[in-house]
Amino acid sequence: MNALAATNRNFKLAARLLGLDSKLEKSLLIPFREIKVECTIPKDDGTLASYVGFRIQHDNARGPMKGGIRYHPEVDPDEVNALAQLMTWKTAVANIPYGGAKGGIGCNPGELSISELERLTRVFTQKIHDLIGIHTDDLGGSLGRDAATGRGVLFATEALLNEYGKTVAGQRFVIQGFGNVGSWAAQLIHEAGGKVVSVSDISGAIKDNNGLDIPNLLKHVKEHKGVKGFGGANSIDANSILVEDCDILIPAALGGVINRENANEIKAKFIIEAANHPTDPEADEILSKKGVVILPDIFANSGGVTVSYFEWVQNIQGFMWDEAKVNKELKKYIGQGFKDVKEMCRTHNCDLRMGAFTLGVNRVARATVLRGWEA
């Protein structure tokens, strides 16, 4: 199932649980604005190359529309639309005053030089310049932003495990994806006493049942641009990473990786969705019957957008926080978010995914009505 169909399905289930008016439900699904632009740039060798860029602004009932740009060969309007919609619900779950948006450029960033990527980004930004601005996009930067999504994953995992009388220490983790989010999550889990037994990235996958030496692995990845060939571990088939034996599985790579083909083989007791839409609805049903607890993406990976919000606040105030304050505030937001999700689970007698979706959709629906929405 493609990302948009899956996201729409989860939204409609949440709307039904909330008893939303059908016209309001329909209007919440329709994006505020969709933009498609052609970005033509001179390559380093002097030839011209053209790339298609998209910007989808989904909803601004709760505040300026927030969302990054994805550089990937398979970027298409449906996927960008799904990610923009997920950002609307995510910012509402995190209870920060933003709406959702997403950008995407259809290109292979690995085949472009830094200067070519810069030119492409500048052209894309110029083309959509009139529709973005200081009340939509961030300036400057915040301490702690680099680690924010990974740190949020740690805080969210701690909140979930606490419900079961467990801590991160001693749990066995598998992390699919070792980019910014996966590598920070691994580092912070390792520091908290968790055992990361297997990780994968585009170069391959490695495993050590006694727990990987994460500090040394991070050095290896920096030097060799991937986990492949790390001396302190065994190489395994990257396709088997999701079904490796562990307590907690963290998909931190692409969407749709957990589906009906592999859901039955998953051995983890908990899945923490650090990627956007890693689990298909069909896999959700299979895993639910197996008793696997899934912490959904719109809560689990909200650390990044939450610290982006802190960044925005600091810019407006012209007052910079130290990293300890950023991390303390992030922990507070994630902790409160988990309580709010659990409250919706109790109210609607539903799982964590529907708890998060009903929470997000309800907040956006209320803001829409308060702004004077009429059918």
Residue where a domain stops, chosen among 109, 136, 163: 136
Asked whether residue 154 falls in the same domain as residue 280, the answer is yes
90: annotated binding-site residue?
Answer: yes
Instruction: State residue 140's pLDDT score.
Output: 47
Lookup: tokens for 127: 């083309």
CA distance 362 to 178: 34
Tally of domains within the chain: 2
Q: Is residue 80 part of a domain?
A: yes
Residues 125 and 242 reside in one and the same domain: no
Report the alpha-carbon distance of residue 184 to residue 327 in Å, rounded. 14
In a domain, 3, yes or no: no
How high is the pLDDT of residue 139?
A: 43
Domain range enclosing 294:
147-299
Do 293 and 152 fall into the same domain?
yes
Q: Is 269 annotated as a binding residue?
A: no
Strands 99-106 and 204-207: unpaired
The answer to whether residue 221 sits within a structural domain is yes
Structure confidence at residue 251 (pLDDT) = 97
Is residue 207 flagged as an active site residue? no
* Same domain flag for 124 and 193: no
For residue 85, the domain's CATH number is 3.40.50.10860
Given the residues 26, 36, 102, 325, select the one marked as catalytic: 102
How far lies 99's CA from each of 23, 111, 146, in Å? Answer: 20, 33, 22
In the prediction, which pLDDT does 133 show? 64
Residue 66 marked ligand-binding = yes
Low-confidence spans in the chain with pLDDT less than 70: 133-137, 139-141, 375
Is residue 128 located within the same domain as residue 201? no
Q: Which of 268, 299, 330 marks a domain boundary? A: 299
Residue 25 counted as domain residue: no
> In 10 A of CB 110, how many CB atoms?
8
Which of 271, 299, 327 is the C-terminal boundary of a domain?
299
Pair (151, 286) in one structural domain? yes
Residue 308 assigned as binding residue:
yes
Domain membership of residue 24 (yes or no) is no
Residues 210 and 99 in one domain: no
